[in-house]
Structure 1
């Protein structure tokens, strides 16, 4: 057996200068495998066994330090196809073990990718202890130190003084600067999940709000024969209507939905004028637009194994999720929208249906990437809703 070179032992290395300092005073040591920069963020845990490339490049993780609960991360490296955006949006990554990568699709290692992108990461972290801490105490602010600038005590104080994500508009940090047509030449939409099959001709025009949109959502819309124009988050309803779309998609995105007031105003003006479909943050914004409220949940939903029940069909689907806020069911007006889906773990709202206008939304990610494909049919449902509107 060939000896693995450059293999490190986290048990030996984790007492070095790199550490994670939580706002409650907990300090966890590890070894840096990313960029030599310090950062702040809210620590969340993701229960997925795989999918770290998609997770890191999902704009919804902006402002967060992602803890992967599965111990081995980086095994299959980084490739050219699996990213969900052009760069990493997560503030940092925390893993238990980062072994050498081996996969025919690999273009670089996870560590090299993190360094290239300027993102700090710790391996050797006791992720089980950290996850239990977050489960019991809730999501916490933290300081990730790899540059040796601060003592653990000073890092804890920095974490406590950081604003966090509550009340913060991070959408403005991740949205596109200008409108554009998605994948006009069809190369991106055939590069994943289609086995290079020819794309069908488009016969619908959709406007997609970019609150932090994932590429696989855009692929799924395009595969439904939809021409997709992506617009910035600040785009008004009047500007959307001027594009003469057949429907409007409301994307996923980061941080607190109640802070994205400009999007809520635009969505409110679009209800009843165009069919609407929202995912994740888009779902929360639709809930706010019909008069509901959102609230933060203790440690969020981040993973690929969340059971959701469709209240109309009784069907249970396993879903991919990534959110810290939910729509408060008790705040919804009974004459505007109804709850269509529930989370079977904690009973939180997972879907809405408008009662007097064409529109629906889900809290989870039917496009997966990463995750199961149980709910992929929602994209076809969006098309059918437009056809019958």
Structure 2
């Protein structure tokens, strides 16, 4: 066993045992409170460039398999755990978590006091850190990578050939979003993040979904005019980063949370009914409530814990955007009905357009 360290830019040092790739890595250190789904979390493209701290201590105990990937490969820089099981047992087991980390060159640190580490992150806010085999100064990053470009598809791809045709703008989409759309009977075309309005229009989709993805939404400011054009013409659903981009396109602004929302137990309140849903979330940024144009948008959901905006809907256009992940995986499926609602909004907008033409 080789000793290693997680060094935070605030000066704290957390010792542990190096696992996975074992090479030195640097990234934003974030924590996730989910009790299951570590493979889905590690393979979620929204974590690109980050070091994930798993709050739940038993990581790797059911191994990994080829079915539970949310991205085509793993973009996370590193993981930190209390324990990392090397002898997993599960009927779908194909390999160990450590071998998966080695395959995708993900460095890890186990045997860490993750409770103290999470308390430290909550005290300071999200911080940068490095996983290393020695105690040293943290190098300064001179540039911030454009993570969306790193994780987005490079070319158009179509899945299924029947049902309403949905264009899925890929900012780092999760496979479960594609699966959820297919489960409600949709043909889906996956498109690169920089697809223009005219390119979307040429496909004549019934609706457009703006996916989740990594990083600061303001890194995509140059694409906001195209996003607005798309949403003005096609029924639209934004998820996580997609939600933030739609809000920005209509004049709102975003800010970074102290330590983000990451886990499968985040309660959100539906304002029209007072009903509370438990949701899966993974993000650092939120839409600032005071900047939302309430003459155009209604606020649908707010976060029970901190009151932040969790969903908006346009008053006149078929546009809905949510900060949480209705497809979950991992997490509760309280809000999967949003995909059905989206298809219903497509049908309604089509009927209105047909009536107007006739």
Q: TM-score, normalised by structure 2?
A: 0.95
In the other structure, the counterpart of 1:368 is 328
Shift of 1:202: 2.6
Contact between 2:57 and 2:81, CA under 8 Å: does it hold in 1?
yes
Structure 2 residue aligned with 1:153, among 133, 136, 143? 136
Structure 1 residue aligned with 2:147, among 156, 164, 170? 170
In the other structure, the counterpart of 1:226 is 186
Structure 1 residue aligned with 2:9, among 2, 23, 27? 23
Contact between 2:148 and 2:172, CA under 8 Å: does it hold in 1?
yes
Shift of 1:90: 1.1
* Residue correspondence of structure 1 range 1-389 to structure 2 within 5 A: 17-99=3-85, 100-145=87-132, 148=133, 151-154=134-137, 156=138, 158=139, 161-162=140-141, 169-182=146-159, 184=160, 202-389=162-349
Bigger fraction of residues in strand: 2
Shift of 1:163: 5.1
2:293 counterpart SS class: coil
1:48 counterpart SS class: coil
Query: 1:313-340: CA deviations, max 9, x gaps?
Result: 2211000000000000101112221211
Shift of 1:164: 7.8
Structure 1 unaligned spans of 5+: 1-12, 185-200
Contact between 1:77 and 1:106, CA under 8 Å: does it hold in 2?
yes
2:273 counterpart SS class: coil
CA distance in 2 between counterparts of 1:266 and 1:272 reads 10
RMSD: 1.3
Contact between 2:252 and 2:292, CA under 8 Å: does it hold in 1?
yes
CA distance in 2 between counterparts of 1:368 and 1:175 reads 20
Contact between 2:3 and 2:18, CA under 8 Å: does it hold in 1?
no
Q: TM-score, normalised by structure 1?
A: 0.87
Q: How many residues align?
A: 348
In the other structure, the counterpart of 2:352 is none
Contact between 1:77 and 1:108, CA under 8 Å: does it hold in 2?
yes
CA distance in 2 between counterparts of 1:105 and 1:342 reads 37
Query: 1:120-166: CA deviations, max 9, x gaps?
Result: 01101110010000111110001111xx4xx4232x3x1xx12586x
Shift of 1:203: 2.2
2:218 counterpart SS class: helix
Shift of 1:29: 1.0
Shift of 1:32: 1.3
Contact between 1:141 and 1:162, CA under 8 Å: does it hold in 2?
no
* Distance of aligned partners of 1:220 and 1:163 in 2 relative to their CA distance in 1, 3 Å threshold: farther
CA distance in 2 between counterparts of 1:271 and 1:45 reads 33
Query: 1:327-385: CA deviations, max 9, x gaps?
Result: 00101112221211000000000001112211001000010100000001000000000
2:284 counterpart SS class: strand
Structure 2 unaligned spans of 5+: 350-358
